[in-house]
Amino acid sequence: MTNTPIKRLTVPNIITKKGKEPIVSLTAYTTPVAQLMDEHVDLILVGDSLGMVIYGLDTTLSVTTEMMIAHGQAVMRGTQRACVMVDLPFASYQESPQQAFRTASRILQETGAAAVKLEGGEEMAETVEFLTKRNIPVCGHVGLMPQAVQMMGGFKVAGKNDESVQKVIRDSHAIAKAGAFAIVLEGVVEPVAQTITQQIAIPTIGIGASPACDGQVLVCDDIFGVFQGFKPKFVKRYAQVGQTMTEAVQQYAQEVRSRAFPTMEYCFQPNKG
């Protein structure tokens, strides 16, 4: 009797979930973490948030294409089932559709991931259309856009006033019309995120948006309680792994200093003739 091969979820599989079973999505950056979540999630994002949670950077702006490829490869090695997409890092795609194509095609070729994600609304619609017409699946990202943190003057919620509401709605429609297969709505006030979800034909994936979105995504280090930096309002801690790790390190340090570890149980002995 042979085991049936595990079939990986595809971009069309994600699209068909629109208005049906919610899409479960998390970020992952390493093989072991990807292995742990593979069975349980539909979509894994290798996010440029790795700059902050893995490398200790203040923003995502210093993340490089090489970093995204290395972590994309690691996640792909750890997954068999989940659909995997990789962020295009800052300054690797905004210059022109041609630049975006070069970056996106390289990432997909070198990682084997299914899709890329890019930030931006109406101003990036031409780029999204350029990529999708050349067989590169694209997930959009509007609302609070971490790569625009300098322009926005910080991490600010979208949809707080009429102008902002109209902008995020226009951005969402523009990216959907351009051919994106899904769109991340980050930091968008709840009623606006719900309206966008009802209006556009592609799945919306919320992060600090609305339970009405077609799916949800969070940063894995946030839900595990590993990342010790700023905790956004929309993050729910599902574990306190960071605290457990700290306690383990403290116990290890105490045992080493008191010579309680290692005992002979953990040491190699010479062969006895």
Q: Active-site residues: which are they?
A: 186
Does the annotation place 49 within a ligand binding site?
yes
- CATH number, position 33: 3.20.20.60
Domain of residue 198, residue span: 11-240
pLDDT for the residue numbered 5: 78
Does the annotation place 171 within a ligand binding site?
no
Mean pLDDT, residues 12-17 taken together? 98
Q: Is residue 261 part of a domain?
A: no
pLDDT for the residue numbered 272: 60
- pLDDT-based confidence at 212, cuts 50/70/90? very high
Lowest mean pLDDT among 80-89, 96-105, 150-159, 211-220: 150-159
CA distance 188 to 209: 5
Whether 273 has a pLDDT exceeding 60, the answer reads: no
Report how many domains make up the chain: 1
Whether 2 has a pLDDT exceeding 60, the answer reads: no
Strand partners, 143: 186
Does the annotation place 172 within a ligand binding site?
no
pLDDT for the residue numbered 134: 98
The mean pLDDT value of the chain amounts to: 95
Whether 260 has a pLDDT exceeding 80, the answer reads: yes
CA distance 23 to 83: 11
DSSP the chain: -PPPPPPPP-HHHHHTTTTSSPEEEEE--SHHHHHHHTTT-SEEEE-TTHHHHTT--SSSTT--HHHHHHHHHHHHHT-SSSEEEEEPPTTSSSS-HHHHHHHHHHHHHHH--SEEE--BSGGGHHHHHHHHTTT--EEEEEES-GGGHHHHTS---B-SSHHHHHHHHHHHHHHHHTT-SEEEEESB-HHHHHHHHHH-SS-EEEESS-TTSSEEEE-HHHHHT---S---TT---S--HHHHHHHHHHHHHHHHHTT-SS-GGGS--PPP-
Mean pLDDT, residues 249-273 taken together? 92
pLDDT for the residue numbered 232: 85
Whether 206 has a pLDDT exceeding 90, the answer reads: yes
Whether 4 has a pLDDT exceeding 60, the answer reads: yes
Mean pLDDT, residues 41-55 taken together? 97
Q: Is residue 194 part of a domain?
A: yes
Whether 167 has a pLDDT exceeding 60, the answer reads: yes
Whether 175 has a pLDDT exceeding 80, the answer reads: yes
- Residue type at 148 in one-letter notation: A
Helices 97-111 + 125-132 axis angle, to 10: 50
Does the annotation place 119 within a ligand binding site?
yes
Q: Is residue 271 part of a domain?
A: no
Q: Is residue 5 part of a domain?
A: no
Q: Is residue 153 part of a domain?
A: yes
Segment 98-154, tens digit of pLDDT: 999 999 999 999 999 999 999 999 999 999 999 999 999 999 999 999 998 777 666
Segment 223-259, tens digit of pLDDT: 999 987 778 899 999 999 999 999 999 999 999 999 9
Whether 172 has a pLDDT exceeding 90, the answer reads: yes
**Rounded percentage of the chain residues whose pLDDT exceeds 90:** 89
Does the annotation place 117 within a ligand binding site?
yes
